Every structure is written in C-alpha cells, then in structure tokens.
Amino acid sequence: MPTGSLSAPRGLRFGDVLPGAFVLVLALAPVLLFSVYPVAVLVANSFGVGIAPASGGFTLEHYDRAFASKSVSSALGNSVLVAIGSVCISLGLVLPIVLRQGKRSAARRERASASAADTLLALPMALPGIIIGFFAIVLVGRTGLLGLIWEGFSGFAYVFGGMLVAYVYFSFPRVLGPLRGAAAALDPALAECARTLGASRVRVFATVTLPMLLPAVIETCATASAVALGGYGTVATLSEGVRLLPLNVVNELTTGYRLADSSTLAVLLALGAVAAIAVGRLLSRGAKWAVSRA
C-alpha cells in the first residue's frame, strides 16, 4: 500500500493531542492479554507446563494419547473431509454466481431485488453454527419436514452426507464474499476483448477469467476450509451423529476438566487451521506468479 510520503514529515500527529504511546499500549493490551497470551498458555498446557491443572511438568503423554486414540483419529478424518468437501461444493455453487454478478454490475440493473438477494446470500454468515445444525434437524431430522416427502430424508442430519450439506450452508457465504470482491476487481474489458476476437465463452472462461481469479480462489478456499475445520456450533447441535474433532476438544473439558488433554486437541485443531491458511497463501502466491509469467 502506498503511504503518502508527502505528508510524513508534517502530518497529523496523534502524539500532539494525546500521549500517543500510552494510548496505543492501552489499546493493544486486550489483544496481547486475551488472545496472544492465552494461546501461548494453551500450547504450554498441552506439554504439561502451563497453568494448573495442566502444570505437572514437561510431558508428551497428552500428544501420545491423542495420536493413539481411535476416536480422535476418526474425528480428525471426518473433520478434514467435511471441511474440504463443503468448501469444494460451495465453490461449485459460488463460481457461476460470481461470474454472473460481473456481467450484472456492468449493466447496473435490478438494484432493489439484487440487494434483497445479497442480504439473503449473506444471511448464513451471520447465523451461528448451532442454528445451521438446527436447520438440519428441522428439515432432515427424525421428524424433519423433508422426511414427510421421502422417508429416506428422515435422520439424514445424523449421517456424513447430512453433516456435509450442513457445512456447505456454513461455508458457502465464506467462499462467496471474498470471491465476489475478487471478481468485481477484474477488468471486464479483457474478457470482452477475447470474445470480440472470436474466442468461445468456454475458452474465455478457461484462459482469461479463471487464471485471473485463481489466486483468489485458492486463498479463499483455504481460509474457508480452516474456518469449517474449527467450526464447532453445527456439530454441537448434531452431536449424536457424525463425530468431528471440535467435539473431542469440548468433551475433554466437560467430562472431567482434563485441561491438558483438551488443550492438546485444541492445539492440533488450531495447527490444522493455521496450516490450511498458510498453504493456501503459498499456493495462491505461486499461482499469481505462474499466471503473471504465462
């Protein structure tokens, strides 16, 4: 971001009005105290060198136990599948909408109805995961509405497919939002130019639009997968069905306050999420580089 060098020497100085450094430290204190420090304690807890009752001395037994546990490994597998699967399905739904929007904003029509549609599309983002889990119960639970139409839908909320659909509801606004921004930033002249030069719609999509969107697609999907991986609310409501890793994290605390074991699983969950984000950034940069060279 270019920062106006023209104003640097004589710009508005906060310090002239208030003791700036003091105010800044005060503003940053909650971040350090209630976000960064607890995460450090969480890691220390997982190694047994944290705060009581997770302060018995350095040990790797909590990690050994986590890696040896069948319930943890199956929950982790389910979590990864649900996170990646729900994001991939969301991407399939989102791409056509995003590309359509590019055309629409060029034409600037149907503003009122588009605004209502936008609000509706953004709604799942503002719903806590527990409500999405409850939606699954209302529609495809044991006495769900869709079960009246076809009996096969009864209890679908508690099998893997049902969990996957619930997480698609959770993930797709998180894929839609960032990709919308990225698509709006594309220069429509490039695609139009390719069309007037005789390229087919499919060819324009494959050789112009998609390569330009690709870095944003990769980064958005990775971030959304990380969020879905850590999403606890939906599976909390559907806890009698498929087991996902956040349930194990919670169970260690609610059934007997095993802080060190819970912290260990929380660290593993967080590592998964952070790794997804980091890999996404890396691949996105690689894609940007490759597209700029091509």
Partner 1 sequence: MNRAVLAVVLSFVLLPILATAIAATSVDFSHGPWGGGPTLDWLGYAWVPLAPVVARSLAIALGVVLLNLLLGGVISWWVARRPSWATFLVGYLVNVPLAIPGIALSVALVGTFPPLRPSGFLLVMAHLVFTLPFTLAALVPVLADPSLRAAEDVARSLGASHVRVARTITIPACAVGLAQAAAMVFALSFGEFNISFFVNPPAAPTIPFALFDAYSTGRLELASAQTIIFIAFIVPVLGAIVALQRRAGRSKT
Question: Which positions from 109 through 138 interact with partner 1, judged by CB under 8 A?
Answer: 115, 117-124, 126-138
Tell me if 264 sits within 8 A of 211, measured CB to CB. Answer: no
Site string for partner 1, 249-268 (x = CB under 8 A): xx--x-----x--xx--xx-
- Min separation Cβ 66 and partner 1, Å: 14
Span near partner 1 by CB under 8 A; candidates 59-67, 91-99, 207-215, 282-290: 91-99
Tokens of 210: 């998609």
- Interactions with partner 1, residue window 55-84 (CB under 8 A): none
* Nearer to partner 1 (CB atom), residue 169 or residue 194: 169
Integer angstrom CA distances of residue 6 from 2, 14, 18, 154, 183: 11, 18, 23, 66, 33
Least Cα distance to 276 among 79, 89, 39, 92 occurs for: 79
* Nearer to partner 1 (CB atom), residue 149 or residue 294: 149
Among 170, 269, 284, 287, which residue sits at the site for partner 1 (rule: CB under 8 A)?
A: 269
Among 60, 106, 184, 206, which residue sits at the site for partner 1 (rule: CB under 8 A)?
A: 184
Count of positions on this chain that bind partner 1 (CB under 8 A): 93
The reply to whether 96 sits near partner 1 by the rule CB under 8 A is yes
- Residue 180: is it exposed, middle or buried by C-beta count within 10 angstroms (0-12/13-18/19+)? buried
Provide the 3-class DSSP secondary structure of residue 171: helix
| CA–CA separation, 237 and 244 (whole Å) | 12
Tell me which amino acid residue 238 is.
Answer: L
The reply to whether 170 sits near partner 1 by the rule CB under 8 A is no
Least Cα distance to 212 among 192, 193, 185, 173 occurs for: 185
* Nearer to partner 1 (CB atom), residue 199 or residue 236: 236
Quick count: other Cβ atoms within 10 Å of Cβ 274?
Answer: 11
Span near partner 1 by CB under 8 A; candidates 39-47, 64-72, 188-196, 210-218: 39-47
Span near partner 1 by CB under 8 A; candidates 42-50, 60-68, 186-194, 213-221: 42-50
- Min separation Cβ 14 and partner 1, Å: 6
| CA–CA separation, 131 and 31 (whole Å) | 29
Site string for partner 1, 134-163 (x = CB under 8 A): xxxxxx-x-x-x--x---------------
Quick count: other Cβ atoms within 10 Å of Cβ 162?
Answer: 22
The reply to whether 279 sits near partner 1 by the rule CB under 8 A is no
Integer angstrom CA distances of residue 186 from 98, 191, 244: 11, 9, 38
Longest pairwise C-alpha distance within the chain: 73
- Min separation Cβ 3 and partner 1, Å: 6
The reply to whether 100 sits near partner 1 by the rule CB under 8 A is yes
Span near partner 1 by CB under 8 A; candidates 65-73, 92-100, 187-195, 208-216: 92-100
- Min separation Cβ 127 and partner 1, Å: 7
Dihedral angle of Cα 234, 236, 240, 246, to the nearest 10 degrees: 100
Give the DSSP H/E element, type plus range, for residue 278: helix 259-293
- Min separation Cβ 228 and partner 1, Å: 10
